[in-house]
């Protein structure tokens, strides 16, 4: 019996030594990473690093982290960020964000993010590059504002990103329950008062092949860029309006998409009114577009619904046979 107790004490001592050594290594790795970003010209600061979680976990709290990349004009700061992982394997990380306001800036524009229970879970492949195998982000009620008024909010947020058969290909799933555009966004979209405050459905399901896998260099050096997008379903349902989309796009090195997106639009005439009111559709072009789309809608048996497609080619986009102008560049900054 005494021998068993001695073995248990030795095992406990060895585990304690391992835990404290691994905790020191994690803190040192974080401080070294911040120092390296400073060396590369970033603003990368924090107030303190503290560890907890003994004996089964490593939980490191970074107090008042601030990151600013002068190359992209992007900056982020928060009251704290926790990095949590099982003591036996640090490759399964959980990031917990402060429920107090976080600030995300892009040059002179700042968004204030408030989210209840916001956390991200990451599964990283063994190795120095820390390739992302799976990412899931979840939150309770969240709100993005300009510092005074809400820009958008929702009751929940779910985001999943999972590596598939190829290292560069990821499946992305995004959904937000009760997504609510703010007053400024409703005004920008020329939304009528007949639409409810929030969306009934807002879902995105797609597979994206990037030019490289997501790993530690995605934050430190360069974001992976999309090269092939397979949109399985995009579904936005807002009162009487609904858009569903599927399709496939190839994206060149300049970010220009080529391919077809198939659309099913309910109450498309009301959407044309919104586009005209928002200034996205010239008033002198609306009547002609409405006549052409009306012909296509009539073929489906329900003149209120429209089955059509967005055609992307040579840097331009067309709605069915109607040219819309330059296509957006799909570039991750």
List the chain pLDDT tens, one digit each, 333 residues.
777 777 778 877 888 888 888 888 888 989 998 999 899 889 999 999 998 988 889 899 999 999 998 888 899 999 999 999 988 877 788 999 999 999 999 888 899 999 999 999 999 888 778 889 999 999 999 999 988 888 999 999 999 999 998 899 999 999 999 999 988 888 877 777 778 889 999 999 999 999 999 998 887 778 899 999 999 999 999 988 899 999 999 999 999 999 999 999 888 888 878 777 767 667 777 777 778 777 777 665 677 788 889 999 999 998 888 888 899 999 998
pLDDT, residue 48, reads 94
pLDDT, residue 298, reads 61
Backbone angles phi, psi at 211, to 5 degrees: -75, -20
CA 95, CA 85: separation in Å to the nearest integer? Answer: 9
Number of Cβ within a 10 Å radius of residue 239: 16
pLDDT, residue 136, reads 95
CB-count exposure of residue 282 (10 Å: 0-12, 13-18, 19+)? exposed
Distance of CA 143 to the CA centre of its chain: 15
Whole-angstrom CA distances from 289 to 100, 316, 323 are: 47, 17, 10
**Taking all residues of the chain, what is their mean pLDDT, rounded to a whole number?**
88
pLDDT, residue 113, reads 95
Using an 8 Å Cβ cutoff, are 71 and 52 in contact? Answer: no
pLDDT, residue 299, reads 62
Place of tokens 């048996």: 301
Q: Could you report the per-residue pLDDT of 295-331, keeping only the tens digit for each?
A: 777 665 677 788 889 999 999 998 888 888 899 999 9
CA 186, CA 201: separation in Å to the nearest integer? Answer: 17
In which region does residue 4 sit, left (phi positive, over 0), alpha (psi from -120 to 50) or beta (all else)?
Answer: alpha
Tokens of 13: 């001592």
Using an 8 Å Cβ cutoff, are 228 and 251 in contact? Answer: yes
């Amino acid at each position: 019996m005494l021998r068993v107790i001695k073995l248990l004490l030795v095992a406990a001592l060895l585990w304690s030594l391992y835990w404290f050594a691994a905790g020191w290594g994690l803190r040192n790795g974080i401080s070294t990473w911040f120092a390296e970003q400073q060396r590369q010209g970033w603003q990368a600061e924090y107030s303190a690093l503290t560890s907890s979680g003994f004996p089964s976990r490593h939980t490191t709290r970074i107090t008042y982290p601030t990151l600013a990349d002068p190359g992209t004009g992007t900056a982020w700061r928060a009251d704290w960020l926790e990095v949590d992982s099982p003591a036996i394997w640090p490759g399964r990380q959980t990031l917990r964000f402060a429920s107090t306001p976080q600030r995300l800036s892009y040059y002179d524009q700042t968004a204030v993010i408030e989210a209840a229970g916001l956390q991200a879970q990451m599964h990283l492949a063994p190795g120095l590059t820390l390739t992302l195998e799976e990412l899931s982000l979840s939150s309770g009620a969240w709100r993005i504002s300009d510092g005074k008024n809400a820009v958008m909010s929702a009751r929940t947020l779910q985001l999943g990103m999972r590596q598939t058969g190829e290292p560069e290909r990821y499946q992305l799933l995004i959904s937000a329950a009760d997504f609510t555009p703010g007053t400024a966004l409703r005004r920008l979209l020329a939304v009528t008062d007949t639409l409810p405050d929030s969306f009934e459905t807002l879902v995105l399901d797609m597979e994206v092949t990037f030019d490289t896998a997501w790993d530690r260099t995605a934050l430190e050096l360069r974001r992976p860029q999309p090269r092939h997008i397979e949109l399985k379903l995009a579904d936005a349902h807002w009162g009487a309006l609904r858009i569903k989309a599927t399709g496939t796009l190839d994206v060149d090195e300049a970010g220009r998409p080529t391919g077809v997106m198939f659309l099913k639009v309910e109450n498309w005439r009301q959407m044309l009114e919104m586009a005209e009111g928002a200034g996205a559709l010239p008033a002198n072009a609306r009547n002609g577009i409405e006549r052409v789309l009306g012909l296509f809608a009539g073929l489906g048996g329900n003149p209120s619904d429209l089955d059509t497609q967005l055609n992307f080619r040579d840097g331009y986009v067309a709605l069915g046979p109607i040219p819309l102008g330059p296509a957006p560049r799909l570039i991750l900054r």
